């Protein structure tokens, strides 16, 4: 664990809340935190060349063990030079372990102490994924940050189900740590425990005892109200070590990022900016814009005149046209816009934290975003 | 027609064949000829940002009156600053007149001396397109080169049908010239006449008498064997004035470009590089590669190690993977590769012409491409 001592450094903390800025050091370079990771599920941020991903301000991306295990298979990725070379991304990559995808995508998943046996959602082939197998795949992919393989359950759920899954996730985390051998690859644990504060705390403490390079909060944003998620962060984050990065998995909307940063979260991944972009939704400080709306038909203005992304060199009218005629360039442009929006939001959060004014920034953004959402509902 | 005197200049001619290099001067800059125009049917080269289109070596693009007339409508394009501003392309744009699309796409097209009445292929709405209407739309779009509205018929066809359509196209060309009022927009005529040499010659001579900024050869590559097309070029091109650009519409494969340049053609447009790219076909000097082929699964080499396009920074294995998992980036990368291939082919042709060795270049390329096609058939 020689890298672990220096793999994360807090560089400033807002004195008025738990928000902090840091640097995550990986084998493929540094990441400023708070950081947002675009999702490149199958070895590609959908529709975007790596050089354009970079221009959105993205410093680290996420890819998925589950998807790459099924296609093209980790042996092929390794043979083609590892995931960085494969997908043409020289910066840091975090790989998810597959736990969440087994829960959300796999068919007929059978989970026992050994691991998960399931049918591929693509062709129905039988696949086995164990903690050791997930680590092995992530090592073959060569990501900079690997995640432990966890047992994810839906919410709401019975306490006994959540408790058993959490305890199994703990045992699996230990097996992942034992199995993990690539020194230059960081290994993050995942805190489970549903909406049960005491289970979250017990899980976090047990993982900290095992010792990992970073700690994720998992199993959230799976249907529960946002306030429930914030409540769980309120009890979980304070237990996590100050000196390690904290990663809220699969979250979220701009407001969720701000609320989580406020509570001390350092890293995020989410498909919302890319998926919603492909569906014609453009994020702005004044709430999301639905670009198929007829109100934009003759609108010569860019989505956001302050935005430096390629989409904002075009008129709203043009972007609406692209979606109305189903041109690929529409989804591409809004993907770029939304990723740029997310990265600029995160950059503004970092500046606010270092200047000790994150609380004001949070209030201002929450008001704006809420007003925008109201306006778009009318 | 004050622009016409200087809008095209032959800068060198190969002494051994009809191939020549020239410069086409437009309101949005110069184009070196021979030139290949990628097709941006609905105001977008599918999946490619304008800055990336530019990086393929593209100097001029084509867009379609028919499609933009239906959606979003020329008034909206004009209101949003004209086609260049609308689609973010500052270079030259040629617009097709809609004649070919009425023939190939419109439903229940009824064509009489006035023009064409048809049902939109999108929503069945009734649309009328006349020579004057087509010119008016092209003037509203603000393209640099407008095409006359012609009556296109399929091949093979009866001589009387071809003759009537050609004669009507001549009368329409005259109406287009009368209707055309934007001085900074060039107007090109279209030679029709099917596979009948005498009709082609009569049509060309009549159009030359009317006087246009350039002359296109239309109604080819609609099902006839390539040798028939070359034969028509052999009789038509010599009739066209040396001092005007010659544009072979809707053509073609790499071999067709070489054969047409050899016969004195200066400009081309075709969907083959973009459409075939979206369907996983990559062009190379050694013939097309079908990137879904299992032989590329573990192939670490780029499609072409000499190609500077973004696709050729990736392995064949990665590009195959993108197509197998249906990632948008696959079509995007092969579109960029194929456009780059076409533009480099054209650049090599220009060099060969100016160095008086186009005949050797032609022989060399035809042998290579033929060998590649044979290899891919086995």
**What value does the mean pLDDT of chain B take?**
95
Q: What is the pLDDT of residues B357-372, one digit of tens each?
A: 999 999 999 999 998 8
Local confidence band at B375 (pLDDT 50, 70, 90 cut-offs): low
Question: Does the pLDDT of residue B98 top 50, yes or no?
Answer: yes
- Do residues A141 and A83 make contact, with C-beta atoms less than 8 angstroms apart? yes
Domain segments of chain A as ranges:
13-270, 277-377
H or E element in which residue B101 lies:
helix B99-104
How far does B358 lie from chain A, in Å, by closest CA?
36
* Omega cis (within 30) before A366: no
How far does A338 lie from chain B, in Å, by closest CA?
16
Residue B231 CA to residue A149 CA, distance in Å, equals 67
- CATH code given to domain A13-270: 3.20.20.105
With beta carbons under 8 A apart, name residues in chain A contacting B328: 44, 46-47, 328, 331-332
Residue A215 CA to residue A241 CA, distance in Å, equals 9
Mutate to test the interface with B, among A46, A302, A328 (most CBs of B within 10 A): A328
Q: How far is CA B79 from CA A201, A350, B74, B85, B141, in A?
A: 60, 40, 8, 10, 10
How far does A237 lie from chain B, in Å, by closest CA?
36
Partner A, chain B 240-299, Cβ-Cβ below 8 Å: 297-298
Local confidence band at B103 (pLDDT 50, 70, 90 cut-offs): confident
Question: Does the pLDDT of residue B61 top 70, yes or no?
Answer: yes
Q: What is the pLDDT of residues A222-248, one digit of tens each?
A: 889 999 999 999 999 999 999 999 999
Query: What are the phi and psi torsion angles at B326 (to 5°)?
Result: 60, 40
- Model pTM above 0.90: yes
Q: Which ranges of chain A have pLDDT less than 50?
A: 1-4, 377-378
Q: Tell me, what DSSP letter sits at residue A296? A: G
The torsion defined by the Cα of A175, A38, B55 and A28, in degrees rounded to 10, comes to: -40
With beta carbons under 8 A apart, name residues in chain A contacting B324: 71-72
Pairing of strands A35-37, A267-269: parallel
pLDDT-above-90 percentage for chain A: 91
Q: Give the three-state DSSP class for A26.
A: strand
CATH fit for domain B12-270, picks 3.40.30.10, 3.20.20.150, 3.40.30.160, 3.20.20.105: 3.20.20.105
* Paired tokens of B106: 């419109």
Chain-chain contact of A43 with B321 (C-beta, under 8 angstroms): yes
Which of B46, B297, B333 has the CB atom closest to A328's CB atom? Answer: B46
The region, left, alpha or beta by phi > 0 then psi within -120 to 50, assigned to residue B204 is alpha
pLDDT (0 to 100) of residue B148: 98
Partner A contacted by B301 (CB < 8 A): no
Q: What is the pLDDT of residues B205-240, one digit of tens each?
A: 999 999 999 999 999 988 899 999 999 999 999 999
Partner A contacted by B310 (CB < 8 A): yes
Strand order of the sheet with strand B116-119?
Answer: B107-111, B116-119, B126-129
Chain-chain contact of A46 with B327 (C-beta, under 8 angstroms): yes
Residue B132 CA to residue B115 CA, distance in Å, equals 9
- Do residues B101 and B69 make contact, with C-beta atoms less than 8 angstroms apart? no
Q: What is the pLDDT of residues B294-341, one digit of tens each?
A: 999 999 999 999 999 999 999 999 999 999 999 999 999 999 999 999
């Amino acid at each position: 664990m020689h890298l672990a001592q220096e793999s994360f450094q807090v560089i400033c903390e807002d004195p008025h809340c738990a928000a902090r800025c840091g640097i995550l050091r990986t084998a493929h370079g540094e990441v400023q935190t708070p950081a947002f990771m675009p999702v490149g599920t199958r070895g590609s941020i959908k529709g975007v060349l790596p050089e354009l991903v970079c221009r959105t301000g993205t410093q680290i991306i996420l890819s998925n063990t589950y998807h790459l295990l099924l296609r093209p298979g980790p042996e092929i990725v390794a043979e083609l030079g590892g995931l960085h070379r494969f997908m043409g991304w020289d910066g840091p990559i975090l790989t998810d372990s597959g736990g969440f995808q087994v829960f959300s995508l796999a068919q007929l998943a059978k989970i026992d102490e050994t691991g998960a046996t399931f049918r591929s959602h693509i062709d129905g082939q039988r696949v086995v994924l164990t903690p050791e197998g997930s680590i092995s795949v992530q090592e073959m992919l060569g990501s900079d940050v690997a995640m432990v393989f966890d047992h994810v359950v839906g919410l709401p759920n019975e306490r006994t189900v959540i408790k058993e899954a959490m305890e199994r996730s703990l045992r699996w985390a230990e097996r992942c740590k034992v199995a993990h051998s690539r020194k230059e690859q960081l290994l993050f644990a995942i805190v489970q425990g549903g909406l049960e504060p005491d289970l979250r705390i017990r899980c976090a403490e047990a993982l900290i005892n095992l010792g990992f390079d970073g700690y994720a909060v998992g199993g959230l944003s799976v249907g529960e109200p946002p306030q429930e998620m914030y409540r769980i962060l309120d009890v979980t984050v304070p237990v996590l070590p100050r000196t390690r990065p904290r990663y809220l998995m699969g979250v979220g909307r701009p407001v969720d990022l701000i609320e989580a940063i406020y509570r001390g979260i350092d890293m995020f991944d989410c498909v919302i900016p890319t998926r919603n972009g492909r569906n014609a939704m453009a994020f702005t400080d004044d709430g999301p814009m639905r670009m198929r709306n007829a109100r934009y038909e003759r609108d010569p203005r860019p989505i956001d005149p302050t935005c430096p992304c390629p989409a904002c060199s075009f008129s709203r009218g043009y972007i609406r046209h692209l979606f109305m005629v189903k041109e690929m360039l529409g989804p591409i442009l809004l993907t770029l816009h939304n990723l740029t929006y997310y990265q600029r939001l995160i950059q503004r959060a970092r500046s606010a934290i270092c200047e000790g004014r994150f609380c004001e920034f949070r209030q201002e953004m929450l008001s704006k975003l809420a007003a925008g959402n109201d306006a778009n509902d009318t």
